[in-house]
Amino acid sequence: MDPFEYVMVVVAIIIGLGITRILAGIAGLIQYRTTVKAYWVHLVWVTAIFLFQIELWWGWWGLRVTAEWHYLDYFRLFLTPIVLYLLSVLAFPDLSKADHLDFRDHYYTNHRWFFSVFSLYPVTLFFSESLLGPQPLLTWQNAVRLAIFIVLILCAAIRNAVFHTVVAVALLGFFVFLIAPRLDTIAS
């Protein structure tokens, strides 16, 4: 086992737990459909968390060339999947114990915590990207991360449904036009 494989074992487990939690939550929406009312804005964010976990795993293939790992490197790498896992858990309550659950109410009741935790995502990406080697501070990627951080903080602070709808639609566009085209092939 090389150092990359060793380091990625626990990271893969955490990403897998997050993906499992999202899939279990979606299955719960189907299973408890008579007592649960879905909310499309919530589902957009759930989809985003799912896709960010997959994109994170895919994107970290570039770290395989890292020959030497230090504990601080591992710790920085570990933070992003932890944030995504926490979001996966915060997105879905225990549906089996709900007599009636409206995800619109759940979304706005928990939006402050959800988006406060979510705002850590671009921050952890910024710190983990330095594992790929020295990175300039002023890049378009860091500008996008800063913008996402600000939007997520605003989502935590603002409860307005129109604002959250606009942000959710913008998120879908962001993923389709900026992230999806980068998901090409993995080479050895």
Q: Give the pLDDT score at 77.
A: 85
In this structure, which amino acid lies at residue 75? F
Composition of the chain by helix, strand, coil, percent to 5: 80, 0, 20
Position 125 scores a pLDDT of 86
pLDDT given for residue 134 in this prediction: 64
pLDDT of amino acid 101:
86
| Dist CA 65 CA 78 (whole Å) | 18
Cross-strand pairs, 103: none
User: Beta-carbon neighbour count of residue 157 at 10 Å?
Assistant: 12
* Digitized pLDDT (tens) for each residue of the chain, 188 residues in all: 788 888 888 889 999 999 999 999 999 999 988 888 999 999 999 999 998 899 888 878 777 777 777 888 788 888 999 999 999 999 998 777 778 889 999 999 999 999 999 999 999 988 877 766 666 777 777 888 899 999 999 999 999 999 999 999 998 887 777 666 665 655 55
| Residues in Cβ contact with 45 at an 8 Å cutoff, skipping those fewer than 6 apart | 91, 114, 168, 171
Q: What pTM, to 2 d.p., does this model score?
A: 0.88
Residue 103 pLDDT: 92
Q: How many helices (H) and strands (E) does the chain have?
A: 7, 2
**Phi, psi of 25, deg, nearest 5:** -65, -40
